[in-house]
């Protein structure tokens, strides 16, 4: 079967089947927002959502990860227990899946393989959910993505109203499709409807700038006086970095208690002044101007220099969550217009 159909009446049974096979991490409603969490029951899955408050990068790169436990006496080091459970990441949006694909070469490169990230990453089959309801803050088409992009996914589901169109992308996805219960072969009209829907969604997302243009304009923008004006509104709270699916900077801290403790890797952000502060008191990025510039340049310029692609997927979380309405689309556009 190339493409399958799961009717929504069978959704619960399908998710229950997945839960039999392994851990299912999926969007779950919490208060007035949606987060990715390990499913306690099939009903908890919330596939009718715009996007999650935090990106699912935390499934592979947790906000706090214990690297090891130690005992100060005798310098003893203990491996943390392996809590990685094989299973499925269900309902991830194409933008967030692309973000994970961007993180892969960072944590898995010839010189250094990050076992913590890779163990988690390998453990999950990625089941995406195409975007049918883009938000006003979405701009994936400007960053090289699209509402039904398959980068980073093993399988893509698309909501056709009363049913999901199920498209396997990789061998892992095809294997899973063959095992799933209640899957029917997709009819020609399902495929036609899906393609029509895809075009309609794409039409709602006209590109604001191109990744290529943003990259080349920013290459010459390091000394641009505009940074001075742009940064003034920024509070340096780093909310943008914490909700960002591609931000991957971290701090390492030791937590001590009575001669023993643990070394923990924690999300960190270049928006904090402490991020670069030297013990001597010298700070290479002393002011918000340098810090905001670092974030924008890293996403739209430096990352492409090092990894061939820009590190923004247009999920719009930083725009939605910014307490002072900073808009990265406007910042990049401002440079594209210069």
Partner 1 sequence: MDNPHYRVACLLDVQPETEDTSSYLFVLEDGGDFQFSPGQFNMLGLPGTEEAAISFSSLAAAGSGRFTHTIRRVGNVTRLIGELEIGQRVMVRGPFGRGWPIEQAVGCDVLLVAGGLGLAPLRPFLLYMLENRGQIRNLVLIFGARTLDDMIFQIDLARWQEQDEISTIYCVDHLTRESNLRLRTGLVTRFMDGLDLDPRNTLACICGPEIMMRFVARNLALQGYRQDRIYLSMERRMRCGTAHCGHCQIGAKFVCQDGPVFSYPDIARFADTAL
Q: From the CB of 252, what's the least distance to partner 1, in Å?
A: 5
Q: Does 290 participate in binding partner 1 (rule CB under 8 A)?
A: yes
Q: Does 65 participate in binding partner 1 (rule CB under 8 A)?
A: no
**Three-state DSSP state, 152:** coil
Among 57, 98, 167, 248, binds partner 1 (CB under 8 A): 248
Among 185, 196, 212, 251, binds partner 1 (CB under 8 A): 251
Q: Does 301 participate in binding partner 1 (rule CB under 8 A)?
A: yes
Distance separating alpha carbons of residues 170 and 236, to the nearest angstrom? 41
Q: Does 162 participate in binding partner 1 (rule CB under 8 A)?
A: no
Q: With CB under 8 A as the rule, give the number of residues binding partner 1.
A: 52
The piece of 9-17, 48-56, 90-98, 260-268 that touches partner 1 (CB under 8 A) is 260-268
Burial class (CB in 10 A: 0-12, 13-18, 19+), 257: exposed
Yes or no: say if 47 and 12 are a contact pair by the CB < 8 Å rule.
Answer: no
Q: Does 270 participate in binding partner 1 (rule CB under 8 A)?
A: yes
Yes or no: say if 76 and 120 are a contact pair by the CB < 8 Å rule.
Answer: no
- Judged by beta carbon, residue 170 or residue 276, the one nearer partner 1 is 276
The piece of 62-70, 144-152, 181-189, 311-319 that touches partner 1 (CB under 8 A) is 62-70
Site residues for partner 1, window 96-155 (CB under 8 A)?
106-107, 111-112, 114-116, 119
- Judged by beta carbon, residue 118 or residue 237, the one nearer partner 1 is 118
Q: Does 195 participate in binding partner 1 (rule CB under 8 A)?
A: no
- Judged by beta carbon, residue 64 or residue 305, the one nearer partner 1 is 305
Distance separating alpha carbons of residues 78 and 66, to the nearest angstrom? 11
- Token reading at 87: 């299973």
Burial class (CB in 10 A: 0-12, 13-18, 19+), 263: middle
Yes or no: say if 155 and 168 are a contact pair by the CB < 8 Å rule.
Answer: yes
How far, rounded to the nearest angstrom, does the alpha carbon of residue 303 sit from its chain's CA centroid? 16
- Judged by beta carbon, residue 49 or residue 250, the one nearer partner 1 is 250
How far, rounded to the nearest angstrom, does the alpha carbon of residue 251 sit from its chain's CA centroid? 19
The piece of 1-9, 35-43, 158-166, 249-257 that touches partner 1 (CB under 8 A) is 249-257
Q: From the CB of 82, what's the least distance to partner 1, in Å?
A: 6
192-to-33, 130, 216, 284 alpha-carbon distances in Å: 33, 15, 38, 55
Q: Which residue has the tokens 């990894």?
A: 307
Q: Does 298 participate in binding partner 1 (rule CB under 8 A)?
A: yes
Burial class (CB in 10 A: 0-12, 13-18, 19+), 73: exposed
User: Which residues make up the interface to partner 1 (CB under 8 A)?
Assistant: 67-68, 70-72, 75, 77, 79-80, 82, 106-107, 111-112, 114-116, 119, 222-223, 248-254, 256, 261, 263, 268, 270, 275-280, 282-286, 290, 294, 297-298, 301-303, 305-306
């Amino acid at each position: 079967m190339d493409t399958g159909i799961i009717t929504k009446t069978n959704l619960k049974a399908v998710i229950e089947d997945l839960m039999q096979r392994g851990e299912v991490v999926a969007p779950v409603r919490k208060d007035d927002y949606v987060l990715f969490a390990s499913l306690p029951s099939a009903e908890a899955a919330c596939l009718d959502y715009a996007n999650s408050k935090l990106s699912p990068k935390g499934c592979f790169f947790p906000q706090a990860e214990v690297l090891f436990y130690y005992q100060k006496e005798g310098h003893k080091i203990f491996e943390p227990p392996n809590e990685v459970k094989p299973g499925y990441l269900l309902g991830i949006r194409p933008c967030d899946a692309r973000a994970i694909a961007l993180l892969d070469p960072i944590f898995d490169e010839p010189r250094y393989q990050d076992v913590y990230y890779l163990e988690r990453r390998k453990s999950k089959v990625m089941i995406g959910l195409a975007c049918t309801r883009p938000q006003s803050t979405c701009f994936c088409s400007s960053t090289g993505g699209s509402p039904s992009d398959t980068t980073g996914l093993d399988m893509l589901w698309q909501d056709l109203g009363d049913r999901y169109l199920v498209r396997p992308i990789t061998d892992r996805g095809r294997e899973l499709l063959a095992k799933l219960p209640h899957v029917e072969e997709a009819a020609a009209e399902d495929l036609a409807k899906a393609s029509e829907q895809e075009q309609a969604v794409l039409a709602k997302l006209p590109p604001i700038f191109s990744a290529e243009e943003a990259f080349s304009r920013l290459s010459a923008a390091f000394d641009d006086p505009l940074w001075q004006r742009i940064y003034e509104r920024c509070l340096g709270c780093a909310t943008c970095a914490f909700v960002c699916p591609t931000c991957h900077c971290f701090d390492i801290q030791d937590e001590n208690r009575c001669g023993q403790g643990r070394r923990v890797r924690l999300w960190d952000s270049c928006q904090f002044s402490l991020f670069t502060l030297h013990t001597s008191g010298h700070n290479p990025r002393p002011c918000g101007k340098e810090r905001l510039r670092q974030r924008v340049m890293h996403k739209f310029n430096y990352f492409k220099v090092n990894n061939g692609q820009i590190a923004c997927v247009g999920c719009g979380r930083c725009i939605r969550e910014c307490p002072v309405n900073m808009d990265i689309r406007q910042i990049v556009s401002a440079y594209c217009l210069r």
